[in-house]
Amino acid sequence: MPTIPHNEANSQTMREVAEEITGTCKSLDDVLQEKFKDEGLTATDFDITLLGELDDMVMECQECNWWCETHDLDDDQICGDCRNDN
């Protein structure tokens, strides 16, 4: 059972996580552990709906592993930079 439920405050937290992870190649757990260092939370502690909200904002490029805004990814989850390099 997830520790962190879906509610507006936690949705705001996911928006903050999206801002922090965008443009990095950090793992989601690394960002969550930095943000919640006192609580020791990882992705498995969050309600799936919250993680879905994060996926609606950012996803990891399947080629370079950098986190990008979802509108910058194609259907294969490849970012514009990687598409332009190929």
Residue 34 maps to a domain = yes
Q: Which of 43, 46, 75 is nearest to 61 (CA)?
A: 75
Number of domains in the chain: 1
Residue 2 maps to a domain = no
pLDDT tens-place values along the chain, 86 residues long: 568 889 999 999 999 999 999 999 999 999 999 999 898 888 999 999 999 999 999 999 999 999 999 999 999 999 999 998 87
Q: Which residues of 22-45 are buried (b: 16+ CB within 10 A; e: fewer)?
A: eeeebebeebbbeeeeeeebebeb
Residue 70 maps to a domain = yes
Residue 1 maps to a domain = no
Residue 81 maps to a domain = yes
Residue 3 maps to a domain = no
Residue 71 maps to a domain = yes
Domain span including residue 61: 8-85
Whether this model's pTM surpasses 0.85:
yes
Q: CA angle, 57 as apex, 1 and 84 as ends, to 5°?
A: 130
